[in-house]
């Protein structure tokens, strides 16, 4: 059995190792596009000293797997790897990786952006930010009608 396409984990990830694994044994790959999101030290004007991310195991992976299937249908891509971290995270920590392989760069770029837009607007995560004013729960999804419209996605699951 091959490596998982979607992983939710507490530990950090190694970009080089993930890209190497995604490219392994596929000599048709001519392009790799990747995105790494990191934890910021500010959100909505407040300092953020740490952040906790939570999810429902099984449900989150299933939702992201469905979007990976959609990306494979929409774009001429060869492979996908999505890693999203949960648990306690500090500013500058890596939080998410989306990597896509294809024969040509255009499809890799588009699929990577498509998957990140989905993760930011619809993936089921919840976060608690720790600020100087105390802890607060924040919907991890952001409302981005332009991103949703670009891909013809419904806003039914997006943040209000």
Which residue positions in the chain have pLDDT lower than 70? 1-2, 44-45, 139-148, 151, 154-160
CA distance 82 to 84: 7
pLDDT at 88: 95
Structural domain includes residue 63: yes
CA distance 59 to 81: 18
Task: Give the range of the structural domain holding residue 57, as residue numbers without chain letter.
Answer: 6-151
Q: How many whole angstroms separate alpha carbon 22 and alpha carbon 25?
A: 9
Task: Supply the pLDDT for residue 22.
Answer: 94
Q: What is the pLDDT of residue 99?
A: 97
Report the CATH number at residue 125.
Answer: 3.90.1170.40
Cα–Cα distance for residue pair 145/155, rounded to 1 Å: 7
* Contact yes or no for 100/115 (Cβ under 8 A): yes
Q: Is 69 within a domain?
A: yes
Residue 48 resides in a domain: yes
Number of structural domains in the chain: 1
User: Residue 96: inside a domain, yes or no?
Assistant: yes
Tens digits of per-residue pLDDT, 42-57?
A: 776 678 788 899 998 9
Q: Quick count: other Cβ atoms within 10 Å of Cβ 45?
A: 6
Residue 158 lies in a domain: no
Q: Does 159 fall in a domain?
A: no
Residue 59 domain flag: yes
pTM (2 d.p.): 0.86
Domain membership of residue 30 (yes or no) is yes
Residue 159's pLDDT is what? 41
């Amino acid at each position: 059995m091959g490596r998982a396409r979607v992983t939710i984990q507490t530990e950090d990830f190694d970009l080089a190792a993930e890209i190497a694994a995604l490219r392994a044994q596929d000599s048709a790959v001519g392009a790799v596009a990747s995105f790494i999101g990191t934890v910021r030290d500010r959100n909505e004007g407040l300092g953020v000293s740490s952040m906790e991310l939570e999810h429902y195991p099984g449900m989150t992976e299933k939702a992201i797997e469905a979007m990976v299937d959609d990306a494979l249908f929409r774009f001429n891509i060869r492979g996908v790897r999505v890693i999203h971290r949960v648990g306690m995270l500090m500013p500058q920590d890596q939080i998410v990786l989306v990597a896509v392989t294809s024969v040509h760069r255009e499809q890799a770029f588009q699929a990577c952006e498509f998957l990140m837009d989905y993760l930011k607007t619809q993936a089921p995560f919840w976060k608690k930010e720790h600020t100087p004013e105390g802890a607060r729960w924040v919907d991890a999804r952001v409302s981005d009608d332009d991103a949703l419209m670009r891909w013809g996605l419904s806003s039914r699951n997006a943040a209000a």
